Amino acid sequence: MNNNEHLTKRRGMTAEDLLRLRSVRDPHYAPDGTRVVFVEKSIDEENQYRSHLYMWTKDGAVRPWTFGPWRDTKPRFSPNGETIAFLSDRSGRTQLWLLPTDGGEARQLTFFKNGVRDYVWSPDGTFLIALTTLGDDETIEDREEPEKAEVKRADLKPRVVERLYYKSDAAGFLDGKRAVLARIDALSGKIEALTGREEEIGSFAISPNGRTLAFVANRNEDPDTTFTRDIILLDLEKKTEMNLTNGCGTFASLGWSPDGMKLAAIGHDLAYLGATIHRLYVFELERQTKRVLTADWDAHLGDAMVGDTHADAKSPGPIWASDGSGLYVTASERGRVNVYFVSLDGPIAPVVEGDFHLYGFTVHPNGRQAVAAISSPTSIGDLYAVSLADGTKTRLTRANEALENEVVFADAKPFTYQSTDGWEIQGWIMKPPELGEGEKAPLVVEIHGGPHAMYGFTFFHEWQLLASRGYAVLFTNPRGSHGYGQSFVNAVRGDYGGMDYEDIMAGVNAALNRFDFIDKERLGVTGGSYGGFMTNWIVGHTDRFKAAVTQRSISNWLSFSGVSDIGYFFTKWEIGCDVWEDAERLWHHSPLKYVQNIRTPLLILHSERDYRCPIEQAEQLFIALKRLGRETKLVRFPDANHDLSRTGSPALRLERLRHIVGWFDHYLKGPFG
């Protein structure tokens, strides 16, 4: 059978295939290295997200470990390997549960009123530290209550706001809740609050001797306007604290060295505010010294990849080698997320490298091998055993095998081109897999959000859907993107709609010149968040595109600065001023200023509970276009936030995809195309 015959036996990707995607993630080795527990996230028959624990054993078997209509996440073996702790919403709120590895029922360990956000085991396995939240009148002993199905009108009360930061796109209205770390006895469930002040708490880790808890917190007098995050050391016996960093930067992803003498963290000094690349720090506690191990490596540590399949998979933090000689870290470079080994006293070397997106990682106790979760444009994502000596990989799971055998995928071909000022930009082109010889395909340009994020070598259902519908897909990383060094990611600040616009349009020109299967007369453009801003900007500055879809966008920086959960600082960070300092500058960078120039049919998609880019941004643009008599439509998604396309209701995600495809089909392939 030749390759073309093989392709004809497969069909194209559909919107409904979204419901069949399985995301394999968060692998974690057992202490003896014979087993790996991991999570498989899926969508059930009722279009609800579910996630269950699975176990891989050294004989190659993969077995489901939990069942039911729940979301079970973050499994971690106890130090003796006899118990798995995990988070689950099976009681209503997300709580901490314990499951024997030799069989038996899971046991609920915490009953916190507001649930558990994260946890860690103690080194001896006798207790765990969990992160929860408490309201003003709540205590650590208050127990979880059933969710109220409906709030009666008589019970409604006004929400009194005094803080600048009072809402979050992810969490909604914060209502004065403070983060609290608590110690929980693994046998009795007895709890003890370890912190209590009003503060945000991030990463936390217990020292190997079990005596010191390191955690990240904002200890500034005005935490809403000061963005450093300090590392606090808490003596668990004496209950005394020491601030290790004293406002020198913002830190996350803590990890103790095996001997307990050093503490690693991912962080930066805010030199370029939100565009500062992340680096690896190591603190030597006895000497009270700080080293930046990646100071000379112009790479962003962590996972900056944008996608719609593994977007909520948590990137692994720095992992110490068993001998303490260095650390394994993930880094985002040129559209790839790979693993590198950073030696304490030597070079930085790749250990798991390739054109793929590595979004999960765990190291075997022997230090010679690892298990990684890996995705690529034509592989949805699976676990692989990896040799840390030579990087060879062996596939362990086949979570999406049935779908991958049924559907033909479009590959993403990378290429580079020069922008109008000579800067090198990276892009990718996806050719419709069933496009015949000599046929032309309409082109859809995709623009990522952030803007400090990255497109690259990962599986993207939306793009496969467009390719299956006969569209070529172009995606690029214009300046402002991660993956190309500090100067590149910082270059967009203060220049939104400037050279970033030139980078994207130069990419369109380069694609038209290089790939003869693109129909230059049928061009479409879409993007979300910053990508929505840029979509709005593009159609206000050129008529080259026959159709556009703007999603969760920014149209007016003047209002955005006061309504977004991050607008009060992000606007100045990215555009360069506050509204009272230079309103004209904000208006200059607002796509709404150029609305009279928009002739391209524009579909506007927006979530009604989006606090990042509130829906008034879409409403202003829609009303202006309607008053001007332009071709437009506004689609509002109820009870959805900024992450609709990635983690929103599956039913609404399907509706979103259908609207996007329908709009492009009508204007690029229908009577207007």
Residues taking part in catalysis: 529, 642
Residue 205: C-alpha distances to residues 47, 78, 128, 167, 516 (Å): 36, 15, 10, 27, 54
Alpha helices in 372-480 (DSSP H): 401-406, 461-468
Helix (H, G, I), strand (E, B) or coil at 641: coil
> How many Cβ atoms from other residues are within 10 Å of residue 6's Cβ?
10
Q: Rounded to whole angstroms, how far apart are CA atoms 444 and 430?
A: 10
444 burial class (0-12, 13-18, 19+ CB within 10 angstroms)?
buried
CB of 430 closer than 8 Å to CB of 377: yes
Q: Fill in the amino acid letter for 276.
A: T
Structure tokens at 47: 């279009």
Query: Peptide bond preceding 451: is omega within 30 degrees of 0, i.e. cis?
Result: yes
In angstroms, the CA 253 to CA 520 distance is: 46
Query: Which residues are paired to 634 by β-bridges?
Result: 604
The answer to whether 268 and 322 are in contact (CB under 8 A) is: no
What is the C-alpha separation between 667 and 673, in angstroms, rounded?
5
* CB-CB contact of 614 with 585 (8 Å): no
User: How many CA atoms within 13 Å lie on the side-chain side of 488?
Assistant: 22
Is the CB of residue 531 less than 8 Å from the CB of residue 449?
yes
Kindly list the strands in the beta sheet with 191-193, ordered across the sheet, starting from the edge strand earlier in the chain.
118-121, 127-134, 178-185, 191-193
For 59, the 3-state DSSP assignment is: coil
Nearest to 437 by CA among 337, 551, 516, 532: 516
Q: Which helix (H) or strand (E) holds 382?
A: strand 379-387
CB-CB contact of 360 with 443 (8 Å): no
Sign of CA dihedral 73, 77, 79, 80: positive
- Contacts of residue 639, defined as CB under 8 A and 6 or more positions apart, other chains included, come to 608, 609, 649
The contacts of residue 214 (CB under 8 Å, 6+ apart) are 204, 205, 206, 207, 231, 232, 233, 234, 244, 254, 256, 263
Rounded to whole angstroms, the Cα distance separating 58 from 60 reads 5
Residue 664: how many other CB atoms lie within 10 Å: 27
* Nearest-angstrom CA–CA distance, 631 and 633: 7
3-class state of residue 559 by DSSP: helix
Nearest to 545 by CA among 427, 448, 668: 668
